[in-house]
Amino acid sequence: MEINIARGDGSYPSLIRKLGKTDVLVLDDWWLGPLSAAESRELLEVLEDRYQTRSTVVAVRCLWTNAIN
Q: What pLDDT is recorded for position 56?
A: 92
Q: Convert the pLDDT of each residue in 4-63 to its tens digit.
A: 788 889 998 999 889 888 999 998 876 677 888 888 888 888 889 889 999 999 887 766
CA 54 – CA 67 distance, rounded (Å)? 24
Instruction: Detail the DSSP E strand segments found in the chain.
Output: 24-28, 55-59
Q: What pLDDT is recorded for position 23?
A: 94
Q: Convert the pLDDT of each residue in 24-39 to its tens digit.
A: 999 887 667 788 888 8
Burial of 60 (C-beta count, 10 Å sphere; 0-12/13-18/19+): middle
Task: Report DSSP letters for 19-30, one per residue.
Answer: HHH-SEEEEES-
pTM of the model: 0.67
Q: What pLDDT is recorded for position 10?
A: 92
